[in-house]
Amino acid sequence: METWYCKTLGNGVAAVAPSRRIQEMFLPLFAASGQPSSMAVFSRHDRKANKLTAYFSPRASRLAELFDAVPCDKPSSEGIGLLVGDARSWEIFFPERKRRAA
């Protein structure tokens, strides 16, 4: 099993700058890696704790290192969004989400 990484980015407005930075830094790494559809960063906003957490797929481990993300379990598909990456990463990592929506 490949390792996922996560990083709490902050709450509310405080999470905007690191989210943008992840998106900016992702693009050159994505291109240099041959644009793999399995390289993605997802995010989830925890409304109770008012915090945004980024989840880096195993292929995004280099980017995760740059943000001092820590190893974590693969996130569930509930309430998650694609922060940056190929749209096909949904089907790769969360195929059950597509079935539910159909």
pLDDT in tens, 1-26: 699 999 999 987 888 999 999 999 99
Instruction: Say how many domains are in the chain.
Output: 1
Show the domain range for 32. 4-101
pTM for this prediction: 0.91
Q: In DSSP terms, which residues pair with 54 in a beta bridge?
A: 7, 43
Residue 102 pLDDT > 50: no
Helix, strand, or coil here: 68? coil
**Residue 88 scores a pLDDT above 90:** yes
> Rounded to whole angstroms, how far apart are CA atoms 76 and 94?
8
3-state helix, strand, coil in the chain (%, to 5): 40, 30, 30
